[in-house]
């Protein structure tokens, strides 16, 4: 029963956390739009492999990471800058070769390797999982001794795969409707989303550290 509980808690937390806008979601959507379902599946497998290892690491290093607040601050700044880089890259790519393109430095890799690479540099997920892991352990909602922790981590991997997949399926329908009344918006919506994400993350960063300061 403990293993099943860990599995369900991990699945729910990860799926809900994967549904909001994030650059992994947006790139997954673009891969599905340009390359189809098989490429999307390979991309998500690459993403969840990295997440599996990351969550295992944060479970073991939770106390150290919790004491080093400066590390968390740096990851948040880098995530903002990376989203701005993606916004510019997608905008330039669309202007150069049309609305079906993704940036050259992304399209040159297999979807599986791309999923691994992009989730490796998705630094903002470190404080996300650090916070959740500490909370779930302290609230005794999960047990992470011995093999029990792997049930939790498998649950989070399945939740991430499901959450991003649902995001892609729903947002694809929104894009189809958008293209009918605004071709320009349909073409540049990915750049606009990344700018929005950067602004939202910047506001969150400002509020967090202004209060702490």
In angstroms, the CA 149 to CA 20 distance is 26
Residue 113: Cβ within 10 Å count: 13
* Contact predicate 164/27, CB 8 Å: no
User: Cβ(210)–Cβ(110) under 8 Å?
Assistant: no
The structural domain count of the chain equals: 1
d(CA 151, CA 130): 17
Backbone dihedral angles phi then psi of residue 103, each to the nearest 5 degrees: -55, 145
Token pair 């669309």 is found at 94
Task: Please report, in tens digits, the pLDDT of each residue of the chain (213 residues total).
Answer: 888 888 999 998 888 778 766 778 888 988 898 888 999 999 999 999 999 998 888 887 755 655 556 666 666 676 677 667 766 765 664 444 344 445 555 666 789 999 998 888 877 777 778 767 777 776 678 887 878 889 999 999 999 999 999 989 887 777 666 555 555 554 566 567 667 767 877 887 788 777 555
Range of the domain at 16: 2-212
> Which residues, 6 or more positions from 24, have their beta carbon under 8 angstroms from its beta carbon?
18, 47, 118, 119, 122, 164
Contact 102, 93 (CB under 8 A): yes
pTM recorded for the entire structure = 0.68
- From the list 8, 7, 40, the residue with the least C-alpha distance to 24 is 40
Alpha-carbon distance of 67 to 203, in angstroms, equals: 24
């Amino acid at each position: 029963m403990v293993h099943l509980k860990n599995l369900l808690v991990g699945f729910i937390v990860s799926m809900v956390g994967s549904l909001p806008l994030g650059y992994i979601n947006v790139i997954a959507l673009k891969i599905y739009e340009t390359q189809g379902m098989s490429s999307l599946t390979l991309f998500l497998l690459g993403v969840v492999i990295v997440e599996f290892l990351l969550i295992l690491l944060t479970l073991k290093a939770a106390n150290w990471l919790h004491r080093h607040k400066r590390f968390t601050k740096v990851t948040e700044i880098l995530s903002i800058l990376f989203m701005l880089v993606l916004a510019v890259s997608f905008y330039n790519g669309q202007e150069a070769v049309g609305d079906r393109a993704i940036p050259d430095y992304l399209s040159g890799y297999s979807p599986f390797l791309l999923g691994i690479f992009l989730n490796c540099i998705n630094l903002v997920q470190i404080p996300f999982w650090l916070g959740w892991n500490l909370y779930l352990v302290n609230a005794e909602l999960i047990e992470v001794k011995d093999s029990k922790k792997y049930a939790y981590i498998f649950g989070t991997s399945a939740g991430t795969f499901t959450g991003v997949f649902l995001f892609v399926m729903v947002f694809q329908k929104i894009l189809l409707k958008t293209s009918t009344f605004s071709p320009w918006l349909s073409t540049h919506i990915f750049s606009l989303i990344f700018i929005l994400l950067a602004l939202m993350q910047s506001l969150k960063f400002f509020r967090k550290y202004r209060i702490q300061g």
